[in-house]
Amino acid sequence: MVERIEGINPTRMELLRLKKRVKLAEKGHKLLKEKRDALIMEFFNILEEAKNARKVAEEKLMEAYKALITAEAYVGTQKVVEASYSIRKEAKLEFFSRSIMGVRVPVLEVEDPETTILDRGYGLSDTSILLDDACRKFEKALDAVVKLAEIERAIYLLAEEIEKTKRRVNSLENIILPRLRATVKYIKMRLDEMERESFFRLKRIKSMIEKRGRAMA
């Protein structure tokens, strides 16, 4: 049996107030269900996007590591390590945000992901074009990894919002609306009882007055 809201006076004013609350709760329930369904659709769209982004990132990293191994084989590991210490430019990450169904998700961009040989800072005479190739491929891989991180963070935030919206829908559907409706039903029953009691009381009073009138006649 659904519990009604305690401490409610069975009056017509209270009945009207509760009926308005029921309408608002029903409207909110409908909107939340629509939001939940839209969020789930967006979630699966982005999930598909994440699969593609993960594949691209893995391929770019694989290419970059292959290029690095080739460069190490040609110039030696020590030369590659020394060249890495000479890098003058650090990758800068720019952060923005956008809204998906009211959920703020990040937008990440690597500022100037591809650098020139001069930006890298290592000497050209004691290195190889193979090392330049490895650098370029790692820069492209970094861009792909950042894109993947952006999408995966959006998935997490959307999943979190879906769960919150589901809880609100369930709360309205299984607790709030049933209790409001049960309370409205209770007030209606009490008002009907009070009207019947009032009717019988008035009928009894009328009968008593009529009897007294006949006795006096």
Per residue in 38-68, pLDDT (tens digit) is 999 999 999 999 999 999 999 999 999 999 8
pLDDT in the model for residue 202: 78
Per the CB < 8 A criterion, the answer to whether 160 and 90 are in contact is: no
User: pTM (2 decimals)?
Assistant: 0.75
> What's the average model confidence in pLDDT over 129-156?
89
C-alpha to C-alpha distance for 80 and 178, rounded to whole angstroms: 70
Kindly list the distances between the CA atom of residue 26 and the CA atoms of 37, 65, 161, 177, 187, in Å, as whole numbers in the listed order: 17, 57, 21, 7, 19
Q: Which CATH code of 3.20.20.140, 1.10.287.3240, 1.10.530.10, 2.40.30.10 fits the domain covering 12-205?
A: 1.10.287.3240
Cβ proximity of 70 and 123 under 8 Å? no
- Tens of pLDDT, residue by residue over 158-190, are 999 999 999 999 999 999 999 999 999 999 998
pLDDT of residue 200: 79
